[in-house]
Amino acid sequence: NAQIAMKRAKQSGHAELYQAGDSVTARQRFSLETELRRAIERDQLHLAFQPLIELSTGRVIGFEALARWDHPEKGAISPVDFIPVAEESGLIVALGRWALRAATRTLAEWDRRAGAPLPVHMAVNVSAVQFQRDDVVSAIKAALTESGIAGSRLKIELTESCIVTDPDGIARVLRAIHGLDVTIAMDDFGTGYSSLTYLQRLPIDVLKIDRSFVAPMLHDRDSVAIVRAILGLASALGMATTAEGVESEALIETLIGLGCDIAQGYYFARPLPSDEAFAYLRSRPA
């Protein structure tokens, strides 16, 4: 576990939290876990919402809900730091259920403010660990029932690691989720180790192309080649595509030229507090 933590820490560039064998940082980690548990219990996490833009029309077609933790003393802690802590401690089950409920509740609240159901969906990240440890189908059902949101307006984002751990189990769960009319997106596509066989066999509706391929496209031909290949694969398999990490207009032109469907990134908007996300939606062409 320490090794996994180290690897994750290196990847995310936050090694200070996870030095293996270092008792001080082990204590820090433990305290972060304790504080995260408390934050979840006391409802001190919140969600930020980043718009998803349909490139052919410029319309906002949905939002991705992203967890935020504003620690009373330490300030904002990134999900890149606290999601791994949540996964290793099992707190991800409570956090994941909270995220599903809070995201669908927010969409229902926006509908009420608009006076009618808005033509947008909500995307929620579900961790591989949650797929292993929780009944994700019942968690989704509960969130939909409580909020009154139709399944077709919820999108689940999962990572390739979900498939690697238990391909048959995940296939069953994803089919059940699909049965609720919920859309399924493969997040950070291209960064994991899933085989193309599973991609074909699983009910995946959307490939989300990782920012690490999208961001360098303007100055790196290999990235363009990779994105083009992913778009071709998605199209051949009948899947839609979302590019993440779009920070410039030039990049949007490139993605439109290559036939990408949806984009998400700082060029359009950063992840926004609920009120600002709602205002952003209202300010854009319908």
Interface pick for Mg ion out of 106, 125, 264, 274 (rule CB under 5 A): 125
The answer to whether residue 127 forms part of the interface with Mg ion (CB under 5 A) is: no
The residues, ordered by sequence, that sit 6+ positions from 168 with a Cβ below 8 Å of its Cβ are: none
| From candidates 184, 264, 272, 277, binder to ligand C2E by CB under 6 A | 264
Of 138, 134, 108, 133, the C-alpha closest to 120 is 108
**For tokens 């599903």, what's the residue?**
100
Residues within window 179-198 making contact with ligand C2E, judged by CB under 6 A: 187-188
The dihedrals phi and psi of 208, each to the nearest 5 degrees, come to: -100, 115
Q: Which of 188, 215, 255, 272 binds Mg ion (CB under 5 A)?
A: 188
Q: By beta-carbon distance, which residue lies closest to ligand C2E?
A: 265
Q: Is residue 130 near Mg ion by the rule CB under 5 A?
A: no
Task: For residues 189 and 219, give the distance between their C-alpha atoms in angstroms, rounded to a whole number.
Answer: 21
Residue 88 φ then ψ, to 5°: -75, -25
Size of the site for ligand C2E (CB under 6 A): 24
Radius of gyration of the chain (CA): 19
Question: Residue 31: how many CB atoms within 10 A of its CB?
Answer: 10
150: enclosing H helix or E strand: none
| Interface positions, 242-261, toward Mg ion (CB under 5 A) | 244
| Least separation in angstroms between CB 140 and ligand C2E | 14
The binder of ligand C2E chosen from 19, 247, 259, 276 (CB under 6 A): 247
* Binding piece for ligand C2E, criterion CB under 6 A, among 164-172, 191-199, 222-230, 244-252: 244-252
84 binds ligand C2E (CB under 6 A): no
- Within positions 1 to 30, which residues make up the interface with Mg ion, using CB under 5 A? none
Q: How far is the CB of 116 from ligand C2E (least distance, A)?
A: 27
Among candidate residues 255, 234, 133, the one with its CA nearest the CA of residue 186: 234
For position 250 contacting ligand C2E by CB under 6 A, the verdict is: no
Question: What number of CA atoms fall less than 13 Å from residue 19's CA on the CB side?
Answer: 8
Q: Does 187 bind Mg ion (CB under 5 A)?
A: yes
